[in-house]
Amino acid sequence: MLTQPRTYQLDTSQKRFISYHLVIAVIALTVGSIFGPLQSFNWGGLDLYQFLEPIGLGDYYKGLTLHGVLNALVWTTFFITGFLTLTTIVGLGRPLKHPRLNWAGFITMAVGLVMAGIPILAGWASVLYTFYPPLEAHWGFYLGLTLVVVGSWIEGYGFYLTYYQWRKENPDTRTPFITFGGLITMVMWQLATIGVAVEILTMLLPFSLGLLDGTDPQLGRTFFWFTGHPLVYFWLLPAYISWYGLLPREAGGKLFSDSAARLAFWLFLLLSIPVGFHHQFVDPGIPNSWKLIHATLTYGVAFPSLLTLFTVVASLEYAGRKRGGTGLFGWIRALPWHKPSVSAQLLAGILFMFGGIGGITNASYNVNLVVHNTAWIPGHFHLTVATAATLSYMGISYWLVPYLTGKPLWKPKLAVAQTWFWFVGMLIFSNAMHVLGLLGAPRRTDLNSAPYVPEEWSGHLLRVSIGGAILLIGVILYVLIVYKTARGKDHLPEGEEIEVPIAESITDPQLTPMWLDRWRPWLVGSVALIILAYGPQLAQQISNAQFTSPGFTP
Amino acid sequence: MGDPAEFSEEDFKPRGTVAIVGLFMLTLILLWLSVYLILIARGVTTT
Amino acid sequence: MISTDSDPTNPGEDGRTHHLDVYERRWMIASVALLVVFAASVAVAGFGLGFQVPGHESRVDPNTVADSPPWNNPGLRDLGNGEYEVYVIGRQYLFEPNEIRVPVGATVTFYVTSVDVQHGFKLQDTNINMQIVPGHISKLTRTFEKAGEFPYICNEYCGLGHASMAGSLIVEAQGG
Ligand code: HEM
Ligand SMILES: [Cu+2]
Ligand SMILES: [Cu+2]
């Protein structure tokens, strides 16, 4: 039997370090999320941008750039690096080997954020969060984003060194699951971001500094999507860590299968990256045979998510039955829905089922013709990054903020309501977006001033606005609850400190096969698969590169 | 609600899970198919 | 603490190591089967029925492409036998031409490129949906059996005036 020692307690400086990540993350979400509802109101015919004109935020696309960058890149990356710091040190039960290194990483990220933020606010970088060349932004934007990525790498090196030390001292122990998942997430991210790093350093940065006359936009897209698809797994995997490794405990149960959970994570490392062409099915510069290869591999990466569905639901069923739930579905009601953290993650998981269905649809090669660059796509990823990931992070913060601050959660019932506002708002919003996409509505468009909007769309556009309004309440409540908790005067009573809810597994992790705790074969396999799936086509595109496309400011 | 004492870890069979993933698969097939049929209905495009 | 009586490098003597729940294993098999069926359906549509995505066509220089034929005179070419080609240039923030007229029954091949930034070309109610990348030509073909108006819109962000970038394909009833 594996009896867990009382979980490792963080000291104040460690807690503070993680808290700083969360502070920046939540500020980014607050600012970034102002624009989501504004966009959704614009689509429904209510243009509020005119009122923001005096403070320089009157442009739809400047707002959309802020929305994409701050929500999808900053809120996520800062939350994730903070959370992975926690999974590393709590899982391994030891402090970071070189805390200064991690501080250096964090500061690099923060400097990068400021550097990228200034040009966006000044209107010199309204290029959206994908910054496709030859749209040209101020160099500070590209350099800033690079620093955010490099900073996250440095924090990752700190995790590896800590893990390495632990491994030397514990050669035969299975890596604790939350640490294991966190490390895989970071390794995957470091492999994945090579694409965008090369794009920025060899093309966009020199170009924006005037050192290059032009870019090769097709090659730029290929580099971008090398990173762009695994980016979505970078967002999701921390939520999966929580669903597998923490949520079962919060719900009063255990992880159903340690082996299945680890297998899923390895498959994500293996298959997240060599699938990027599924974002380029309708690109002119890529042979269709390569698109088909990536389509097939994308079906492959659907597999670990389908596996996750089973394992996570089974863990929850175990919890629900243990709590006295009976019948085929009675255990669902028996789950502790009154806990905001549980409610958030359950609701996130429910919506993610539809996110997964949409994802498999997008990946289906020619079926992509129906949905590419339509409103369906943001409809889809508001179920994934903006719900499966974001609502789960919100749920995590409902125990994490009290854990870090030693203060009780402010109004837990309101926090439960917050999760339902998000769920209901997103249900309406995302359903309307999917339908609009099927009717042909484009994404990334100030639809209020588009000349071609048919009457047929108007009911759905209105539903986008309604969903957006409900989501706005969801954001405001979340920020308020986090703020009030962190600034609260009461402290948790002595002896009632919060613990990181690490779930036990039904099967002893020590009995999980050794090959599911070995890095080398999986790393070699991942790199090999990337080389096979990208190498020849990338070599072709690089050798035929023509840096002839001059820049245009939006 | 049953008696929690009736719960036994050894006998735990994820029957509800099977039902849920089954329903999920059905939904997946239906929704996927509906978009696939839109593709077909919009007429063939060739290169 | 970790029990040391089971050898961690050779676990599983009690048969539990490779234990994967039978239902979970069946779910894994069903998942794979479903993905195979989807892949087969996609392949049937793609190779049996011919539903294709734009593929690699040819490269051009975005700076000079509009100076020489056919791109210096964008628009429709009648190839006879009901076959047409149409050359469309995307630029911030319009399509040239912004109106195309063909008769019912026309088989039209769309060639689209950009002289500035990336654009999109989506012909509503059809499967013509292409990323327009400067330096490349995007191409797809379709036959129009019914009369009607098909707006084409730019569905990739191309700058502040992006929302107004659209045109219209009009399929005219014969003799009309
Ligand atoms: C507060 C609730 C939110 C609402 C009402 C909302 C609404 C929207 C709308 C209407 C769009 C489409 C705009 C267009 O294509 O023209 C959009 C785009 C987007 N949203 Fe949200 N959103 C919300 C929260 C979030 C969150 C939490 C995230 C990520 C964590 C997120 C990430 C994105 C991204 C990445 C885009 C695409 C930007 C682009 O196309 O460049 N959103 N959002
Ligand atoms: Cu993707
Ligand atoms: Cu455009």
- Is A291's C-beta closer than 6 angstroms to any atom of ligand 1? no
How confident is the model at residue B11, as a pLDDT? 80
Q: Residue A3: inside a domain, yes or no? A: no
Q: Domain of residue A30: give its range.
A: 12-543
The Cα–Cα gap between C43 and C40 comes to 5
How confident is the model at residue C122, as a pLDDT? 98
Q: Residue A5: inside a domain, yes or no? A: no
Q: Residue A206: inside a domain, yes or no? A: yes
> Which residue in chain B has the smallest CA separation from A282?
B47
Among A21, A174, A221, A229, the one annotated catalytic: A229
Number of structural domains (chain A) is: 1
DSSP assigned state of C165: -
Mutual orientation of helices A412-439 and A376-383 as an angle, nearest 10°? 150
Close Cβ partners of C152 (under 8 Å, ≥ 6 residues apart): C88, C95, C121, C122, C123, C124, C128, C166, C167, C168, C169
Residue A323: active-site member: no
The Cα–Cα gap between C41 and B40 comes to 11
H helix intervals, A384-457 = 390-405, 412-439
B9 confidence band (pLDDT: 50, 70, 90): confident
CB burial class (10 A; 0-12, 13-18, 19+) of residue A545?
middle
Chain B interface includes C35 (CB < 8 A): no
Radius of gyration of chain C (CA): 26
How confident is the model at residue C18, as a pLDDT? 52
The Cα–Cα gap between A552 and A127 comes to 10
The Cα–Cα gap between A29 and A391 comes to 12
* CA distances in angstroms from A374 to A367, B30, C129, listed in the order given: 13, 21, 10
Atom 25 in ligand 1: residue holding the nearest Cα? A386
Distance of CA A397 to the CA centre of its chain: 15
Query: Would you state the structure tokens that stand for residue A279, as one six-digit string?
Result: 């974002």
How confident is the model at residue B2, as a pLDDT? 46
* CA distances in angstroms from A86 to A14, A62, A134, A446, A453, listed in the order given: 9, 34, 40, 40, 48
Q: Residue A549: inside a domain, yes or no? A: no
- Residue A65: its H or E element: helix A60-66
- Residue A115: its H or E element: helix A99-122
A1 confidence band (pLDDT: 50, 70, 90): very low
pLDDT digits (tens, 9 = 90+) for A457-503: 999 999 999 999 999 999 999 999 999 999 999 999 888 889 999 99
Question: Could you tell me the residue ranges of all domains in chain C?
Answer: 1-51, 55-172
Diameter over CA atoms, chain A: 69
Q: Residue A352: inside a domain, yes or no? A: yes
Query: Would you state the structure tokens that stand for residue C73, as one six-digit string?
Result: 């005179």
Residue A303: active-site member: no
Query: Would you state the structure tokens that stand for residue C155, as one six-digit string?
Result: 């569905």
Of A317, A322, A353, the CB nearest to B17: A317
Query: Would you state the structure tokens that stand for residue A366, as one six-digit string?
Result: 């020619």
A85: number of CA atoms within 13 Å, CB side?
33
Q: How many CB atoms lie within 10 A of CB C20?
A: 13
The Cα–Cα gap between A167 and A182 comes to 15
Q: Which residues surround ligand 2, an ion (CB under 5 A)?
A: A 229
B8 confidence band (pLDDT: 50, 70, 90): confident
End-to-end C-alpha distance for chain A, whole angstroms: 62
- List the one residue out of A363, A342, A356, A249 whose CA is nearest residue A310: A356
CATH topology for the C55-172 domain? Immunoglobulin-like (2.60.40)
Q: Which of B11, B28, B35, B46 to mutate to probe the A interface, most A CBs <10 Å?
A: B35
Whether residue A70 contacts residue A29, with contact meaning beta carbons closer than 8 Å, is answered with yes
Q: Do A317 and B2 touch (CB under 8 A)?
A: no
How confident is the model at residue C19, as a pLDDT? 66
Sign of CA dihedral A23, A28, A34, A40: negative
Cβ contacts of C24 on chain B, cutoff 8 Å? 14
Q: Which of A298, A360, A361 to mutate to probe the B interface, most B CBs <10 Å?
A: A361
pLDDT digits (tens, 9 = 90+) for B20-33: 999 999 999 999 99
pLDDT digits (tens, 9 = 90+) for A431-465: 999 999 999 999 999 999 999 999 999 999 999 99
- List the one residue out of C86, C85, C150, C74 whose CA is nearest residue C115: C74
End-to-end C-alpha distance for chain C, whole angstroms: 86
Q: Do C125 and B21 touch (CB under 8 A)?
A: no
Q: What is the pLDDT along chain C (176 residues), one digit of tens a residue?
A: 233 333 344 444 444 445 688 999 999 999 999 999 999 999 999 999 999 999 877 899 999 999 999 999 999 999 999 999 999 999 999 999 999 999 999 999 999 999 999 999 999 999 999 999 999 999 999 999 999 999 999 999 999 999 999 999 999 997 64
Q: Which ligand is nearest to the CA of A38?
A: 1
Q: How many CB atoms lie within 10 A of CB C161?
A: 15
pLDDT digits (tens, 9 = 90+) for A20-47: 999 999 999 999 999 999 999 999 999 9
Close Cβ partners of A423 (under 8 Å, ≥ 6 residues apart): A347, A350, A351, A387, A391
Angle at C174 between CA C172 and CA C176, to 5 degrees: 70
Cis peptide before C70 (omega within 30 of 0): yes
pTM score over 0.80: yes
- List the one residue out of A548, A554, A536, A442 whose CA is nearest residue A222: A536
Three-class secondary structure of residue A381 per DSSP: helix
From A29, A38, A39, A391, the mutation candidate for ligand 1 (largest count of ligand atoms within 8 A of CB) is: A39
Report DSSP letters for A459-482, one per residue. Answer: HHHHHHHHHHHHHHHHHHHHHHHH
Angle at C148 between CA C144 and CA C153, to 5 degrees: 85
Q: Specify the CATH number for the domain of residue A148.
A: 1.20.210.10
A70 confidence band (pLDDT: 50, 70, 90): very high
Q: Which ligand is nearest to the CA of A26?
A: 1
Q: Is the pLDDT of residue A7 over 90?
A: no
Report DSSP letters for A479-523, one per residue. Answer: HHHHHHHHH-S--PPTT------PPPBSS-GGGS-GGGG-HHHHH
Close Cβ partners of C88 (under 8 Å, ≥ 6 residues apart): C74, C95, C96, C97, C110, C111, C112, C113, C121, C152, C167
- Residue C103: its H or E element: strand C99-103
Q: Residue A248: inside a domain, yes or no? A: yes
Close Cβ partners of A328 (under 8 Å, ≥ 6 residues apart): B15, B16, B19
Whether residue A152 contacts residue A105, with contact meaning beta carbons closer than 8 Å, is answered with yes
Sign of CA dihedral C64, C69, C75, C80: negative
C82 to chain A nearest CA, in Å? 25
